[in-house]
Amino acid sequence: MSFLVQQIINFGVSEGTLALILMVPVVATFIAFSRQIIGIRGLGIYITLIIAYAFVATKLKYGLVIFLVVVITGSLVRLLLKKARLLYLPKMAIILTSVAFSIFLMFLLGSFLSIEGLQIISIFPILIMILMAERFVAVQIERGQKMAIFLTLETVVLAIISYYIINWSWLGQILLKYPLQSFLILFLFNFLLGKWTGLRLTEYFRFKELMEYLEVSKK
């Protein structure tokens, strides 16, 4: 553990909290790499990042259940309100109210079934999941139901992988031992990543026929 990290811990910040903070640029870099090189879009770097940390706070299995409840409830209520012709903000307030009520029912069901783990989940990861409903509905309105589902699935996959990265104890120890070096490496890596102008991995499959046609044309 580095002297700087030890100084912060002696100040009163826990080692776990510091490790989570140091993991933020690592996860952000992973999400950026997935977008720029692989071509996995998701719902953006910020939303994917906070969902991953919400999964850490709730534990993955509970986080996924809450996420599914939020997305399904938000979609169903939006469909029910589609013909009501309501203004956007009141409509979103109804959707978020419905999502909060569905989570309330989930906790109620958990109490009857004595499901261990649900009772220790704090409000902040739940609030993150509830706010996710607004973004999902907004994407549905802007880009359609099918694209919203596809982007949401990509976001969940990235968030799950990020969850395991955050919980990777060996990496956490490396970051605590070499914090400044880690920041520098990530800065340089993202700078180089920002200069990338080549095709993404998924685009090679999307434009495979076109690339083969161009190669034949050149001959």
Q: Which residues contact residue 122 at a Cβ distance below 8 angstroms, ignoring those fewer than 6 apart?
A: 57
Mean pLDDT of 47-54: 89
152 in Cβ contact with 136 (< 8 Å):
yes
In this prediction, residue 95 has a pLDDT band, given cuts at 50, 70 and 90, of confident
Distance of CA 47 to the CA centre of its chain: 5
The tokens for 114 are 């004595």
Q: Is 42 helix (H, G, I), strand (E, B) or coil?
A: coil
Mean pLDDT across the stretch 206-219?
A: 54
Residue 115: domain span: 3-218
pTM: 0.82
- Whole-number Å distance between alpha carbons of 26 and 176: 13
For the chain, the domain total comes to 1
**Residues 93, 78: Cα–Cα separation, whole Å:** 11
